[in-house]
Structure 1
Amino acid sequence: MNDVLYNRIYNILSGRQSRSVEANELYAVGSIIGSVRNRNEDVGALVKIRHGRASSNDFTVALVCDGMGGMSDGRVAALIAASSFLSAILRVDRSSGVKRAINFALNAAQRAVYDELRGNGGTTLSAVYLDASSEAWFVHVGDSRIYEIRAGIELRQISRDDTIGAALQRHHQENRPDNNRLIQFVGLDGELDPQLLPIEKASVNGFLLTSDGAHSPSSEILATIVKHSKSGPELVRKLLNVADALGGLDNATAVHIPVATEIKNRDQFERSAHDDLVASILCSSGQHDIWFAQPPFRDAVSRSPSSEIHRERNVKPFVDLPEKNKSPKKPKQSKANKKDQRSDELPLGVDKPIAKLDFSDGGDGTP
């Protein structure tokens, strides 16, 4: 797909994994292949959006996509879904409401996966959205899970499993072979019926997102791990260690996001007096920062660029997200493209280079 933002995020998420757990002071993302699978078809990511002079507009998104191993392109499906969801949530004008923005991003991921793979690949998608308001939002499709960690270190699952066993409430028949069969996933031929709900943040310390390999231990074991973990990175590391110790029968991915997402006097992004925006992405390939010369907003309701915003900031419209007759191809980097990518990276005194994306060219790299 000829979309600079989508391609950049796809390349970041598909980069080589450097360690099992990536973490900073606030967040943690961990993933392991396990002992049985030949490759990791999970994608986990945390994205922190920081606005230059309007910190009240900052938001954070945590996401887990578990590509379906029984399909030929599970890994590709997970990467397309995660990249489409995140690039869409970055482009949405959230003034029309967070719920509509998240639903727009999910539909973008659904269209992108199906248009590319035509049913030969599918993935779960579970995401949590946090901003300065009193509510968090979550969206969920599949059998990955979202837990809330409440005050008092209590673990509670808030997502439902989109499986036959869960739908029929077969809690006493756990060994039935069709219990874990998905009844919906991102990339199917049809409409999704996602969970898309708000959660009051007042009594919640944080959220934990897991693929089924990470929450395979019993609920009692998971609760014990949470209770005896002093930080998000420690919690994620212990979850993966236990999953591996129990045989590593599946890929395991866990993402932890605290509700208190700011540390006073430790803001790593120096606020500017302009409308610059930085997206910090934490995933298996490390932490990556993308700087936008102009905020890449678009109207979530009409699915066309917001003319008012573009007129005020003198920004040309962006390339549309894929319609049903447009397939988002897996980005291919030629040697020339790799040279161009290096020239985009600006040494601005941070640990990792910041990739400058100026969307005033319409988003497709052409004038």
Structure 2
Amino acid sequence: MPATFATESHTGLVRRGNEDAALAQPPVFAVADGMGGALAGEVASGMAVAALAEAAPGTPEELASAIREVNGSIFAQATGDAGRSGMGTTLTAALAGEGSVTFVHVGDSRAYRLRGGLLEQLSSDHSLVAEMVRRGELSEEDALAHPQRSIITRALGVDADVELDSFSVELAPGDMFLLCSDGLYSMVPEPAVEKILNGSGDLAVAARSLVEAALAGGGEDNVTVVLFCPDGAVPSGDGQGPGAAERGSSPPAGGTAEGGPGERAVRNAGRWRDWRVLAAVALALVIILTMATWYMTRQVYYLGASEGRVSIFQGLPLEVGPVSLSSLYRQSDVSLDDLEPFERERVLREELTSLEAAEEMLQNYSGRQGAEAGTDREDAGRRPSATTATGTGF
């Protein structure tokens, strides 16, 4: 049976930009968490997953080689572009093979395995507090609230050479694997993660539930999860929730049959009144939803393409029949052909963001097309909404 998988990502409730990136391209899966500000961190994480997607490694050696190569590319950009100085990214990647899964890992994103209902962390965090915990200087509970918990000791793009953790685990029937950024485990304790994974009927529901739990826990960081089952034991799902509860009921024991015409007339009159009430409620809901939709389309923006040029649109990238829910706000002189492949892909995804963030990203693209490189502006937004992917395949 082919592998099943699901991914989910969210900006969170505090940050304006999403510097996480994910890859689910069986047999390769990965999560990357960028650093250095939105116009640097998201570039680094995007470069990491794009490199793996393009390389399509089929062996553990090819996986490690692709990661080392993209480390050099990120380092070159970080040292050669003042606007991207200090950029880097974590990366936790997995290659599902026959009978085993190989992981290559750097940073503080994590890999977990759910086997027999029990959750186990497979990777080791490359962070200051994790090293203190391993030396016995700090408890795991204290590490969660330590003021230096965000300091990582290894990442892609920081040095020309990178030290990677590489290991393999044997597969057992029904194994489920979770890759995640620190935005999940810093907000959701492992027992709660384990409970969600055990209680979800498919991977899409589980991924969405994990992100929702992180948001409920505070959503202080971007949160991204990738779930996969190499043997397809758990279905990917179609985005629907668990099956609806059974509806309907049986007549009470000893109940009587319907009465005569008079009783039926009373029932029919009541049903007519109920129908009019329902119609009025439905009309009110339509009016409210229409107003809410109109208001929403005035509050959100996204980068897209107009006549082959990067442009800012106001509204939602949707059409309801012949009606478009967005309009062109500003067309730039930046050609899509002048962007890096992963930047062009991001523009074509039409991700929702704020006007300020869209203008800042557009200015960055414009500056790079001109004589001078654009400078990084910390915490510029990419989008405030979730992204989802599910599927099967090997």
The bucket for the TM-score relative to the shorter chain is 0.5 to 0.7
Structure 1 residues 210, 333: closer, same or farther in 2, change over 3 A?
closer
Structure number with bigger Rg: 2
Identify the residue that residue 236 of structure 1 maps to in structure 2.
Answer: 207
Structure 1 residues 202, 32: closer, same or farther in 2, change over 3 A?
same
Identify the residue that residue 86 of structure 2 maps to in structure 1.
Answer: 120
Q: Take 2:234 and 2:209, find their aligned partners in 1: how far apart are those partners?
A: 24
Question: Unpaired segments of 5 or more residues in structure 1?
Answer: 1-23, 49-59, 265-328, 338-367
Q: Take 1:212 and 1:253, find their aligned partners in 2: how far apart are those partners?
A: 8
Q: Any residues of structure 2 matched to 1:19-34 within 5 Å, and which?
A: 26-34=4-12
Residue 62 in 1 paired to residue 56 in 2? no
Amino acid at match of 1:211: S
| 1:20-75 deviations in Å (ceiling 9; x for gaps) | xxxx9921010011111111111112003xxxxxxxxxxx1111111115575100
Q: Take 1:183 and 1:212, find their aligned partners in 2: how far apart are those partners?
A: 14
Identify the residue that residue 340 of structure 2 maps to in structure 1.
Answer: 330
Structure 1 residues 241, 41: closer, same or farther in 2, change over 3 A?
same
Residue 181 in 1 paired to residue 180 in 2? no
Residue 165 in 1 paired to residue 106 in 2? no
Instruction: Check whether the contact 1:61–1:130 (CA below 8 A) recurs between aligned residues.
Output: yes
Instruction: Check whether the contact 1:84–1:112 (CA below 8 A) recurs between aligned residues.
Output: no
Please report how far the alpha carbon of residue 180 of structure 1 lies from its aligned counterpart in structure 2 after TM superposition.
3.0
Structure 1 residues 185, 333: closer, same or farther in 2, change over 3 A?
closer
Q: Take 1:106 and 1:74, find their aligned partners in 2: how far apart are those partners?
A: 17
Out of 37, 54, 67, the position equivalent to 1:87 is: 54
| 1:106-144 deviations in Å (ceiling 9; x for gaps) | 11120111112224311110111113x111111111111
Structure 1 residues 64, 26: closer, same or farther in 2, change over 3 A?
same
Instruction: Check whether the contact 1:140–1:194 (CA below 8 A) recurs between aligned residues.
Output: yes
Please report how far the alpha carbon of residue 191 of structure 1 lies from its aligned counterpart in structure 2 after TM superposition.
2.4
Question: Unpaired segments of 5 or more residues in structure 2?
Answer: 80-84, 236-338, 349-394
Identify the residue that residue 198 of structure 1 maps to in structure 2.
Answer: 168
Residue 140 in 1 paired to residue 110 in 2? no
Q: Take 1:164 and 1:71, find their aligned partners in 2: how far apart are those partners?
A: 23
Computed over aligned residues only, the root mean square deviation of the Cα atoms, in angstroms, reads: 2.7
Instruction: Check whether the contact 1:81–1:112 (CA below 8 A) recurs between aligned residues.
Output: no
Percent identical pairs in the alignment equals 29
| 1:320-343 deviations in Å (ceiling 9; x for gaps) | xxxxxxxxx833769xx9xxxxxx
| 1:227-286 deviations in Å (ceiling 9; x for gaps) | 21121111101101111112211111001110214999xxxxxxxxxxxxxxxxxxxxxx
Identify the residue that residue 227 of structure 2 maps to in structure 1.
Answer: 256
TM-score between the two structures when normalised by the length of structure 2: 0.54
Instruction: Check whether the contact 1:68–1:122 (CA below 8 A) recurs between aligned residues.
Output: yes
Instruction: Check whether the contact 1:71–1:120 (CA below 8 A) recurs between aligned residues.
Output: no
Considering fraction of residues, name the structure with more helix: 2
TM-score between the two structures when normalised by the length of structure 1: 0.58
Instruction: Check whether the contact 1:85–1:108 (CA below 8 A) recurs between aligned residues.
Output: no
Instruction: Check whether the contact 1:63–1:127 (CA below 8 A) recurs between aligned residues.
Output: yes
Identify the residue that residue 192 of structure 2 maps to in structure 1.
Answer: 221
Q: What SS is found at the alignment partner of 1:166?
A: helix
